[in-house]
């Protein structure tokens, strides 16, 4: 979703067309944006708190490097600091146990909290991270 004054929107539309982007039926995307603005803004604090909780828990796990102070939104980036362990391998191990993360580099992982994720889910995910890292 893009917001701005008339001139900014004009430029954004031009760039979108130059880059080949365009949809004829944007209502599906617009609907998601409307729900985000009308119903989800109040929930952002919960998502951010869950991300902070995740970051703090990850920081205590040997083999994971993260500075929880740097986590300001619902997106958590962290590094794998374990010899021989690559992000894709850890992501695969976690997925088998039900925790979905995205390798964003050879030794970097991205995790995102959202409105379906509860603090209990964060605790469960951290336990799975601990088990996965301890079994290496």
pLDDT band at 24 (very low <50, low <70, confident <90, very high): low
Q: Are 59 and 93 in contact (CB under 8 A)?
A: no
pTM: 0.80
The share of the chain scoring above pLDDT 90, in percent, equals 72
Which of these, 45, 32, 42, lies nearest to 119 by C-alpha position? 45
Spatial distance between the Cα atoms of 120 and 94, rounded to a whole number of angstroms = 17
Residue 18 CA: distances (Å) to CA of 2, 11, 24, 30: 16, 11, 16, 21
Q: Are 62 and 133 in contact (CB under 8 A)?
A: yes
Mean pLDDT estimate for the chain:
93
Of residues 23 and 130, more confidently modeled: 130
Q: For residue range 80-93, list pLDDT tens digits in order.
A: 999 999 999 999 99
Spell out the domain ranges in the chain. Answer: 6-41, 43-134
CATH number of 43-134: 3.90.1150.10
1 has a pLDDT exceeding 80: no
């Amino acid at each position: 979703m893009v917001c701005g004054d008339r001139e900014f929107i004009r430029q954004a539309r031009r760039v979108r067309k130059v880059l080949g982007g365009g949809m004829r039926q944007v209502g599906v995307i617009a609907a998601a944006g409307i729900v985000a603005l009308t119903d989800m803004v109040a929930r952002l604090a919960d998502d951010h708190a869950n991300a902070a909780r995740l970051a703090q828990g990850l920081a205590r796990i040997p083999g994971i490097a993260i500075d929880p102070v740097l986590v300001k939104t619902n997106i958590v980036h962290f590094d794998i600091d374990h010899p021989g362990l690559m992000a894709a391998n850890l992501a695969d191990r976690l997925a088998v146990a039900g925790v979905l993360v995205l390798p964003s580099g050879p030794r970097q992982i991205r995790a995102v909290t959202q409105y379906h994720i509860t603090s209990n889910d964060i605790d469960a995910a951290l336990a799975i991270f601990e088990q996965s890292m301890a079994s290496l």
